[in-house]
Amino acid sequence: MTSARPAAEPLAYPFAAEKLNLAPLYERLRREEPLARVQLPYGEPAWLATRYEDARLVLGDPRFSRAAAVGRDAPRVRPYAPGPGTISTFDPPEHSRLRRLVTKAFTVRQIDRMRSRVQQIADELVDAIRAEGAPADLVEDFALPLPITVICELLGVPFEDRGDFRLWSEAFLSTTKYTLEEIKGYRALLRDYMAGLVAERRTAPQDDLLSSLVAARDNDDRLSEDELLSLAESILIAGHETTATQIANFLYVLLTRPEHLAALRADLDQVPQAVEELLRFTPLGSGSLQPRYAVEDVEVGGVTVRAGEPVVVAINSANRDESVYTGPDQLDLRRHEATHIGFGHGPHHCLGAPLARMELRIALRTLLERLPGLRLADAEQDVEWKVGVSTRGVRRLPVTWEVR
């Protein structure tokens, strides 16, 4: 075990990388310095866990706390720090209490019940794409409206307001796109909007998740008003933004690897396994940048993390760990190895993972079935990318296909 504190200056983090590539530095760190000292754009320095087993330890071990970050100048990529009362800042048992309130909406059984409706939405979007004709922007015409429609119907948010909460979501994820004052303003608008929906559900409950949360607040006293609003906001943002980004990114990965695309199109029964490999292979952001603070001294990657020190997890690096995966930097749509941690691990494992998996599977299969010869409409280098936000992804993805 190494207990000496590092003398070198912390590495600037996140590491620079273009498009969906990973910085080569991750490989060196996994090999030589699996727990490295880093400095994020905001907050105090942190340890960075880059190996698979170390990542699972930090994400799943109760000796690492999310709640301990509240009130600290926590390491972060965005200019603001989450305040108390959001589900991401709780540890069990408080975290478990809030999570149980929404678990029923995301069980495998409930997701199976939603499958036909999600397929219907996907088919209607493709119908519109085919009717309009090529080229189509798969981000605006498919990747975004699919999960937005699903989460609106599940939570109980009017679909016609999607333009507003898309803007608010983008501000929530902003690293440099918006100023701190702009972010605070958009967050206030989101809070007012959600408070208005809650007030409507109090007078006219509906068959949706928001009404269930209101009942849990008013009838059972199982959460505070701030917790109710924060939970609803988190579900709205996380329920569409990451899935939309993943749909577009997965399509980009496949469209720029024609041999993989052709193999998958020839055997669509492989789509579920392909989705798992794409979740492992495709970076969504810089990793789990919600820091965990050690509540006691813990050995991680041969280094002693002292009580009170924060650790951030490079999920993208952990999912490329050569000690776990064969040829980790190669896309293998038939891979059957260790479970990836693309949805996280431990108490904060993504609550909506079953829904996201189902949407991703339906999205890929529907597009490959119904848009024969799907390919990029422009040169690969002309694909537009998001800038100034914490999620890495395609902003526009023009495509064409064969008309039959």
pLDDT over 80 (residue 4): no
Is there a domain that residue 1 lies in?
Answer: no
Is there a domain that residue 293 lies in?
Answer: yes
For 271-324, what is each residue's pLDDT tens digit?
A: 999 999 999 999 987 555 789 999 999 999 999 999 999 999 999 999 999 999
Report the C-alpha gap between 322 and 314 in whole angstroms.
14
Mean pLDDT throughout 312-337? 96
Identify the pLDDT of residue 217.
Answer: 86
Average model confidence (pLDDT) across the chain: 92
For 230-239, what is each residue's pLDDT tens digit?
A: 999 988 988 8
Identify the pLDDT of residue 84.
Answer: 67
Identify the pLDDT of residue 198.
Answer: 94
Is there a domain that residue 89 lies in?
Answer: yes
| Paired sense of beta strands 375-376 and 310-313, if any | unpaired
Is there a domain that residue 4 lies in?
Answer: no
Report the C-alpha gap between 48 and 99 in whole angstroms.
27
Is there a domain that residue 2 lies in?
Answer: no
Is there a domain that residue 86 lies in?
Answer: yes
The string of DSSP codes covering 87-137 is GGG--TTHHHHHHHHHHGGGSHHHHHHHHHHHHHHHHHHHHHHHHH-S-EE
Residue 31 sits in a domain whose CATH number is 1.10.630.10
Identify the pLDDT of residue 183.
Answer: 92
The string of DSSP codes covering 215-241 is HHHHTS--S-HHHHHHHHHHHHHHTTH
Of the candidates 285, 247, 265, which has an alpha carbon nearest to the alpha carbon of residue 140?
Answer: 247
Mean pLDDT throughout 174-194? 93
Identify the pLDDT of residue 287.
Answer: 53
For 18-54, what is each residue's pLDDT tens digit?
A: 899 999 999 999 999 999 999 999 999 999 999 999 9
Count: domains in the chain: 1
Phi, psi values for residue 376, rounded to 5°: -65, 140
Report the C-alpha gap between 47 and 43 in whole angstroms.
12
Confidence band for 87, pLDDT divided at 50, 70 and 90: confident
Mean pLDDT throughout 326-355? 93
Is there a domain that residue 226 lies in?
Answer: yes
Report the C-alpha gap between 254 and 144 in whole angstroms.
18
Q: At 324, list the tokens.
A: 């776990």
- In terms of phi and psi (left: phi > 0; alpha: psi -120 to 50; beta: otherwise), the region of 282 is beta
Q: Domain range holding 113?
A: 11-400
Mean pLDDT throughout 364-375? 97
Is there a domain that residue 391 lies in?
Answer: yes
Identify the pLDDT of residue 112.
Answer: 87
